[in-house]
Structure 1
Amino acid sequence: MAVHPSTISRTLEDLPKWAHLLAAFGLQLAPIDSMVVDQTELSALESMSEKYLQMRRQQRLKGA
């Protein structure tokens, strides 16, 4: 991509403004290699993790 360094510099100065504008619309940016999950998925994962850890703890106590 042939972009002059000064153009990039000026654009980066406006980055916070663009980030706030996107946030106002309920949008957010994430790196391409990120895995984005919504709050419901995160809550489900946390719940399953907690149950798994409780089970492992109980197994360890019974085996000791």
Structure 2
Amino acid sequence: MTADRYHLTVTAGGRTLLHGWWHSETTAHRKFAAWIGQHGDRPDARITLTDEKTSAVLTQWPQTR
């Protein structure tokens, strides 16, 4: 585990395919948008950005209803 606060994951089919951590929330949001473009076409893809300090989900794709 890393000390960076913002954790980004890509999951599909119940498996984590990719993850990364960033210290900067701005950078993490920029990566989130980029990862939607790069990995959003995978079947059942879910991309989630979490604040590791508060355990809050900051954003996810696709949006839940």
- TM-score, normalized by length of structure 2? 0.29
The structure with the larger Rg is 1
Which has the bigger relative contact order, CA under 8 A and spacing at least 6? 2
TM-score normalised to structure 1 length? 0.29
Q: Which has the higher strand share?
A: 2
